[in-house]
Amino acid sequence: MIRRESALGSKPALTNPGQAEPKGFSFLRHASPTLTAVLVDAGFFLKRALHVYGHQPPEVIARNLHKLALEHLNDDKGRRVSRLYRIFVYDAPPVAWKGHRPISKKAVDFGQSDAARWRLAFHEHLKCLRKVALRLGEIPTSQVSWQLKPEALKALAAGKQNWAAITDDAFHLNFRQKGVDMRIGLDIASLAYKRQINQIVLVSGDSDFVPAAKLARREGIDFVLDPMWSTIRPNLYEHIDGLKSVCPRPGKTNAKPAGKAG
């Protein structure tokens, strides 16, 4: 039997409904004035997660992302004070490029790599979590190329290494996600203009989202940034209503969330 812990009219998850709505506080589903949408830049989240949680299986990292999002519904004492609209996660499928190594010319299929399998499993686990919407961009394989790593280039320029000694390890595959940032910006604008929520929490540290944050604030949205304890640029801090990291602080235990008063 599927347990129903979610707000009236919403679809229960077929696997585990989680705790997107608080137990024992049914009045919050209707009376709380704050309705929150949590937007997560998965590329940023996964980089920070290595520092915060260490190397973990994809299902564990997916649950940690979900838990982080739900923590933003609570006050500093852990009491649920906001309702959840939805958790939006933005990422791109793993690169599925097939080609040859730059020096040895050995065939390689990145679509069958351990990293690709991990990312696909991460996406599948996210899809099963309560109130999570996965937004995927793309990685155009026509724009993928090998690039010399900065440390290798520096060693060559300094004369510490000669080109004849360069191996495949001195290169990395250079590619760029397409459409991820655009989807984040469009969703922020859509949520703000349609008045579907009155608070947005963005898990990111990218100052490219300043125009979207300014738009949301002009529409009366409370805009909170969670940089997961990373340092952000001053121009981004200026255009948000709150700064709050709710995950464990890397290298510290029992750290309280940091906040920009609001």
**Which has the higher per-residue pLDDT, 25 or 80?**
80
Check: CB of residue 183 under 8 Å from CB of residue 137.
yes
Cβ neighbours for 124, distance < 8 A, ≥ 6 positions apart: 58
pLDDT of residue 254: 45
Reported as a single tens digit per residue, the pLDDT across 82-137 is 999 999 999 999 988 888 899 999 999 888 999 999 999 999 999 999 999 999 99
pLDDT of residue 179: 84
How much is the average pLDDT of 208-226? 95
Reported as a single tens digit per residue, the pLDDT across 39-53 is 999 999 999 999 999
Per-residue pLDDT at 7 exceeds 50: no
* CATH class (in words) of the domain with range 28-140+177-253: alpha beta
Reported as a single tens digit per residue, the pLDDT across 116-130 is 999 999 999 999 999
Whether the model pTM is above 0.75: yes
User: Distance between CA 209 and CA 220 in Å, rounded?
Assistant: 17
DSSP string across 175-242: ---BSHHHHHHHHHHHHHHTT--SEEEEE---GGGHHHHHHHHHTT-EEEEE-TT----HHHHHT-SE
Per-residue pLDDT at 253 exceeds 70: no
How much is the average pLDDT of 258-262? 51
The domain ranges of the chain are 28-140+177-253, 143-174
User: Distance between CA 64 and CA 129 in Å, rounded?
Assistant: 11
pLDDT of residue 55: 95
Exposure string for 130-144, b = 16+ CB within 10 A, e = fewer = bbbebbebebeeeeb
pLDDT of residue 95: 87
How much is the average pLDDT of 74-88? 95
